[in-house]
Amino acid sequence: MPTKVFMEALSPTMEEGRLVKWTKAVGEAVKTGDTLAEVETDKAVMEIVARADGQLLQHLVAEGATVPVGEVVAFIGAPGEKVAQPAPPAPPPAAPVRSATAPSPTPAPVPAPAPVPAAATVVADASRVVRASPLAKRIAKEKGVDLKLIQGSGPGGRVILRDLDGAPARAVAGSAAPAPAAVVIGSGAAFEDVPLTQIRKTIAKRLGASLGPVPHYFLTSEVDMERAAEAREALNQQLGDAAKVSFNDIILKGVSLALARHRACNAWWQDDHIRYWNEVHLGMAVAIEEGLITPVIRNADRKSLSAIGSEARALAQLARERRLKPEQYTGSTFSVSNLGMFDIDQFTAVINPPEAGIVAVGSIVPKPVVQDGQVTVRRRLRLTMSCDHRVIDGATGAAFMKTLKQMLENPLAMVL
Amino acid sequence: MPTITYRDALNQALREEMQRDDTVFLMGEEVGLYQGAYKVSRGLLEEFGAQRVVDTPIAELGFAGVGIGAAMGGLRPVIEFMTWNFAVLALDQIVNSAAKMLYMSGGQIRMPIVFRGPNGAALQLSSQHSQAWESWLAHIPGLKVVAPATPADAKGLLKSAIRDNNPVLVLEGEMLYNTKGDVPEGELLVPIGQADVKRPGSDVTLICHSKTVTVALKAAEQLAGQNLSAEVLDLRSLRPMDEPAILASVAKTHRVVVVEEGWPHCGIGAQVVDIVQREAFDQLDAPVLRVTQADVPMPYNKQLERLAKPSPEKVVAAARRVLYLD
């Protein structure tokens, strides 16, 4: 009888794995311990190894497919040995076999795959709450099975009878394999939808459970605004009364350009994927009598400082008059909130979903700082970026903030 | 074995018991000259005379009370209600006199009386005449309640009810009177308090009684077409309820759907669920589901009525859910 190869629980929290690559082809001889496939878990890419000698008879899962832990992915047996059909689903449309080459399942009542045997790589996670039917608990106790090692197929991951002995046929809803796609920048489209990798899913799940629907964290950086202030004075002297440049305009311009260089921060969380925008549509929080609204400067990274300035003032005016049209306050890819005029040193802003980040701008205040070993007075600004950790990891957000700081401290960089 | 209707099976039971014991008599609206609203008492007036087949005025509380008095005096009355919807008027006599007489007389006064008639919905009789009363009746200590689904059970349970020294309520069904089934010839007694496996199975237990036995059997047939084996357990008796039979089936299948004609709130199914979770908790692989009448007064509209009633499709859906297939 052929030996089943299971999608094994290769980490304590692994619930499903993506079969990245088959390293043994159908028909190849295998020995116990041989690597059969590479599997991307929620943590890393790991290997499934053979637990029997013989020939690899059949692949049941195509490369790139994601399958739950405990599902049969291949068979090992004697050369030419017949393979029993894998567990069929009860309703015909829900086929658990995901390989295009695998024969279609028949409705014969074949036992579903047993759960993963307790392999050496499997470690029970003591913190996991076990959900199991009373019957499953009793049988697990009788058999001495650790329920924490079993992937339950009932609602909410409840371990039920069939997960222990595979009684009635398992009905797996067709969870189609997401096509693996690399992040491609600058394809010409407005945005790029990128499927979530296993590690990204785990980050999203863990952090979401910890902080709420949007797992915020915050990065604060103090920026020297002395050169920006000089540049602003020079520009305003030249512009005369035509159109004054404000610090806010400079910050909006800096954020837009930094976003264009850090697309990883210019993104939307879309629950099952992340949308990386190739365009920068910058939202700016405006306080109005009734509350708050965030009008949008479209393609802000491609607009001049004066264009940004005049558009920002026009939008703010419309916002206060409550005359903004929907297209003027929707579709932003990132936002800026400025409370500098209220003498706020620094603050944390709440992310405007589905955006993944927002920069909170404090007051520009003269401060004693050490420069070249001397204490001098400089105009300083505190910026705090709020990041959605599902999309932006700490180092990614920090790199964006570093670029933004460099641009504001050296305003000439903005014309590069 | 002869195949006869449910109606004729009840008629046989009455005739045989009246022949066997001359203290047995039948009383109710239209039971004599008209031979019963549903012809259950056909031929009985002719055979036993007007003293033992008694037509009454339209006064349920009154003739129920007369019956109770007769039982206290040593007779064995069978009181027919044209439907249990009308018997609501007689509930004071049934609940306060019949059910409590033995207890309140310190065991001195027995109450060998049968109340019988059709229960539950028929077709388009609207809200007031389509009600399933079993959870009301089975609630009362001192009463026994049976609800036969087949002609054989109808005969065997009515005969046992007539011979019982306690008040027994027999819930029949307007939609059941014309159904046919094999009924053994000769003496047939079905003990009160015994459930019956109407169809054996291994994957899920469908617990039902009265008309819902047919619903469950049809559902079991549909499930068989999906390679799923359903056991149909007919409770037959609602008080006392056959706990060992329920627990034996749950131990076999680990999954339960309870089907009943009544409303969900405080229904017979709620009692079954109580037994199952208390006595068979470690046998359960899924929460018990119930299929009941919708929690509304029965609609008159034909389509709405169909939607409000338990159906084989609803039972199949529930069975698939407890099997984690949907």
What confidence tens digit (pLDDT) does each residue in A362-382 have? 999 999 999 888 999 999 999
Chain B contact residues (CB < 8 Å to A): 203, 226-228, 254, 281-286, 320, 323-326
CATH of the domain at B294: 3.40.50.920
Q: Would the CB atoms of B325 and A133 count as touching at under 8 Å?
A: no
Residue A216: half-sphere exposure toward Cβ, Cα within 13 Å: 17
Same domain, B175 and B201: no
B39 with B63, same domain: the answer is yes
Does B187 map to a domain? no
- List of chain A residues whose C-beta atoms are within 8 Å of the C-beta of residue B228: 90, 168
CA distance A17 to chain B (A): 23
Is there a contact between B227 and A137 if contact means CB atoms under 8 Å apart? no
Total count of domains within chain B: 2
Q: Report the alpha-carbon distance of residue A137 to residue A143 in Å, rounded.
A: 10
The domain boundary residue, chosen from B138, B157, B182: B182
Residue A218's DSSP bridge partners are: A386
Cβ of A137 and B282 within 8 Å? yes
Predicted local confidence at residue B240, as pLDDT? 98
B33 and B152 inside one domain: yes
List, for residues A332-360, the tens digit of each pLDDT value: 999 999 998 889 999 998 888 899 999 99
Q: What's the pTM value of the predicted model, to 2 decimals? A: 0.53
Percent of chain A with pLDDT over 90: 33
H or E element in which residue A162 lies: helix A161-165
Kindly tell me if the per-residue pLDDT of B262 is higher than 90.
yes
Start-end of H helices in chain B: 6-20, 44-48, 60-72, 84-87, 91, 101-104, 134-138, 151-163, 212-224, 243-253, 268-279, 302-308, 312-322
CATH class of the domain comprising A3-118+128-165: mainly beta
Which residues of chain A make contact with B254, given a CB cutoff of 8 A? 135, 161
Please tell me which residue, A200 or A137, carries the higher pLDDT value. Answer: A137
Q: What is the pLDDT confidence band of residue B268, given thresholds at 50, 70 and 90?
A: very high
Indicate which of A85, A106, A110, A135 best probes the interface with B, i.e. most B CBs within 10 Å of its own CB. Answer: A135
Residues B25 and B144 reside in one and the same domain: yes
Quote the mean pLDDT of chain A.
Answer: 80
Which tens digits make up the pLDDT trace of A241-280?
667 889 999 999 999 999 999 999 999 999 889 999 999 9
Structural domain contains residue B101 = yes
Per-residue pLDDT, averaged over B17-23, amounts to 98
Same domain, B169 and B257: no
Answer for the pair A60, A98: CB distance below 8 angstroms, yes or no.
yes
Residue A275: predicted pLDDT:
92
Residue B324: which of A91, A107, A153 has the nearest Cβ? Answer: A153
Q: Is the pLDDT score of A131 beyond 50?
A: yes
- How far is C-alpha A339 from the chain's CA centre? 30
Contact criterion met (CB < 8 Å) for B285 and A136: yes
Structure tokens at A410: 């050296």
Q: Could you tell me if residue B191 is inside a domain?
A: no
- A-to-B residue pairs, Cβ atoms closer than 8 angstroms: 46
pLDDT in tens, A166-192: 433 333 333 333 333 333 344 467 888
| B160 and B266 share one domain | no
CB spacing of B227 vs A169 below 8 angstroms: yes
**List of residues 6+ apart from B186 with CB closer than 8 A:** none
pLDDT tens sequence across B70-121: 999 999 999 999 999 999 999 999 999 999 999 999 999 999 999 999 999 9
- Type and span of the H or E element at A68: strand A66-68
Residue B160 is assigned to a structural domain of this protein: yes
Q: Which residues of B touch A135 (CB under 8 A)?
A: 254, 282-285
Task: Sort out which chain B residues have CB atoms less than 8 A from A171's CB and list them.
Answer: 324-326
Contact A135 B228 (CB under 8 A): no
Q: What is the pLDDT of residues B164-223, one digit of tens each?
A: 999 999 999 999 999 999 999 889 999 999 999 999 999 999 999 999 999 999 999 999
Chain A closest CA to B282's CA: distance in Å?
5
Q: Which of residues B158, B182, B206 is at a domain's end?
A: B182
Cβ contact B254–A90 (<8 Å): no
Average pLDDT over residues A390-396: 93
Does residue B190 lie in a domain region?
A: no
Q: In terms of domains, do B201 and B275 share one?
A: yes
Choose among A90, A138, A161: nearest Cβ to B226: A90
B40 within domain boundaries: yes
Q: What is the mean pLDDT of residues A146-157?
A: 83
Domain stop point among B122, B154, B182: B182
Nearest to B282 among A90, A135, A153 (CB): A135
Q: Which two tokens stand for residue A81?
A: 């040995």
Indicate which residues of A carry an active-site annotation. 389
pLDDT of amino acid A41: 78
Q: Point out the residue among A138, A168, A169 whose CB comes nearest to the CB of B282.
A: A138
DSSP result, A1-43: -PEEEE----STT--EEEEEEESS-TT-EE-TT-EEEEEE-SS
Give yes or no: residues B134 and B173 share one domain. Answer: yes
Are B312 and B201 within one domain? yes
Which pairing describes strands A334-338 and A282-284: parallel, antiparallel, or unpaired?
Answer: parallel
Which of the residue ranges A233-242, A315-324, A341-350 would you say has the lowest mean pLDDT? A233-242
Catalytic residues of B: 60, 129
Q: What integer is the mean pLDDT of A286-295?
A: 82
Of A135, A153, A168, nearest to B284 by CB-CB distance is A135
How do the domains of chain A map onto residue ranges? 3-118+128-165, 191-415
- Considering the domain architecture, whether residues B145 and B47 belong to the same structural domain is answered as yes
Q: What is the residue range of B106's domain? A: 3-182
> Which element (helix H / strand E) includes A134?
helix A134-143
Extract the runs of DSSP E, i.e. beta strands, from A243-373: 267-269, 273-277, 282-284, 286-288, 291-293, 296-297, 334-338, 357-371
CA dist A26 to A38, A50, A56, A97, Å? 15, 13, 5, 16
Q: Is residue B261 part of a domain?
A: yes
Q: What DSSP string runs through B255-318?
A: -EEEE-SS-STT-HHHHHHHHHHHHSGGG-SS--EEE---SSPPPSSHHHHHHHS--HHHHHHH
- Give me the CATH number covering residue B150: 3.40.50.970
Q: Are residues B12 and B98 in the same domain?
A: yes
Contacts with A93 from chain B: Cβ below 8 Å = none
Residue B248 is assigned to a structural domain of this protein: yes
| CATH class name, domain A191-415 | alpha beta
One domain for residues B38 and B155: yes
Is residue A7 scored above 50 in pLDDT?
A: yes
Nearest to B282 among A134, A160, A171 (CB): A134
- Residue of chain B whose alpha carbon sits nearest to that of A154: B324
Among A161, A162, A172, the residue to mutate for chain B (most B Cβ within 10 A): A161
Cβ of B284 within 8 Å of Cβ of A169? The answer is: no
Which candidate, A409, A357, A381, A332, places its Cα nearest to that of A219? A357
**Is residue A107 helix, strand or coil?**
coil
Partner-chain contact A162 B324, CB within 8 Å: yes
Supply the pLDDT for residue A244.
83
**Would you call B320 and A90 a contact, using CB atoms and an 8 Å cutoff?**
yes
B324–A91 CB contact, under 8 Å = no
